[in-house]
Amino acid sequence: MGSAFSTIRLEVDDHVATLTLNRPESRNALNVAMCGELLAATERLAADESVHVVLIRGEGPVFCAGADLKERQGMSTAELTARRVKGFMAYAAIERLPQAVISVVHGPAFGSGCEIAGASDFILASTEAKFRYPEVSWGTIGATQRLPRMVGTRMAKELLFTGRTFDAQEAKEIGLVNHVYAPDQLVAEAVAMARHIAAAAPLTVRLTKRCVDQGVETTREGAMAVELLAIEENLRNSDWKRAIAGFGSGAKQNA
């Protein structure tokens, strides 16, 4: 999967795509061009059934320092609103990817960086990673929807109101990050996990993701209906009999 992108890099190896934020000279700050390229890249990935897992990384020492504030200088209110909408569209496009999406945060992730990472299915972080939601400190509003769903409303309010920086270990303790690794182990651990997930039946991973994402937004009864529909779709489109037969033979071998 080649690309002509200028602010990101997109590579695919053995069913695992790596989408790298690639503006290291600007600490991978999110600008309008990157928003557009994230939309284009996610559209391409969503249509590629050979891609089973997507890793999101950052080039250079920083994952993403946030929005490109230099770009906003001189913007009118209408232009700034349009710029924020483009960012929201980019985050939503990552969130809507049908594949499993893992953000690999090796360094600072502030503002938009937190939103990009938060739009993935989960986050793996280095001990050198730092997180911050600085919007209130800048006199603006943001991150009010994904963050409470990840860490709960009370912790989200603290992080948003104070704009304080917190480390990877605290991020793990509050549920923002799944695992924390030493800097020299992070990428290897992320790739190993990605390959493990990629080896599973891609349809079942996609349907499981859909069930979780849709189920948490509805009632328990509605969520069960979502899961039953997914089970039915999986039965129609997968070789489940062969999988069960294989499980049975494996059980006998292990007995």
216 and 143 belong to one structural domain: no
What angle, rounded to 10 degrees, do the helices at 32-46 and 77-96 form? 20
Q: How many domains does the chain have?
A: 2
**pTM for the full model?**
0.92
247 and 165 belong to one structural domain: no
User: Would you state the pLDDT for residue 249?
Assistant: 56
**Alpha-carbon dihedral angle through residues 89, 92, 96, 97, given to the nearest 10 degrees:** 70
Q: Which residues are catalytic?
A: 115, 135
Residue 3 within a domain: no
Distance CA 217, CA 213 (A): 7
Q: What is the DSSP string of 185-220?
A: THHHHHHHHHHHHHTS-HHHHHHHHHHHHHHTTS-H
Query: For residue 121, which of 30, 40, 211 has the smallest C-alpha distance?
Result: 211
User: Would you state the pLDDT for residue 75?
Assistant: 87
Distance CA 34, CA 21 (A): 8
131 and 17 belong to one structural domain: yes
- The whole domain housing 178 covers 8-198
- Looking at 47-164, list the stretches that DSSP marks H as alpha helix, in order from N- to C-terminal side: 69-72, 77-96, 112-118, 146-151, 153-162
162 and 236 belong to one structural domain: no
Residue 1 within a domain: no
How many CA atoms within 13 Å lie on the side-chain side of 13? 8
Choosing from 152, 168, 198, the residue where a domain stops is: 198
166 and 238 belong to one structural domain: no
**Starting at the edge strand that comes first in sequence, how are the strands of the sheet with 108-110 ordered?**
108-110, 130-132, 166-167
User: Would you state the pLDDT for residue 197?
Assistant: 98
79 and 101 belong to one structural domain: yes
53 and 101 belong to one structural domain: yes
User: Would you state the pLDDT for residue 44?
Assistant: 98
User: Would you state the pLDDT for residue 254?
Assistant: 42
Mean pLDDT by 10 residues, the chain (255 residues): 84 98 98 97 98 98 94 87 95 98 98 98 98 95 96 98 98 98 98 98 96 94 93 84 61 42
The tokens describing 174, both together, are: 């509050």
Determine phi and psi for 67, rounding to 5 degrees.
Answer: -70, 150
60 and 155 belong to one structural domain: yes
Choosing from 166, 182, 198, the residue where a domain stops is: 198
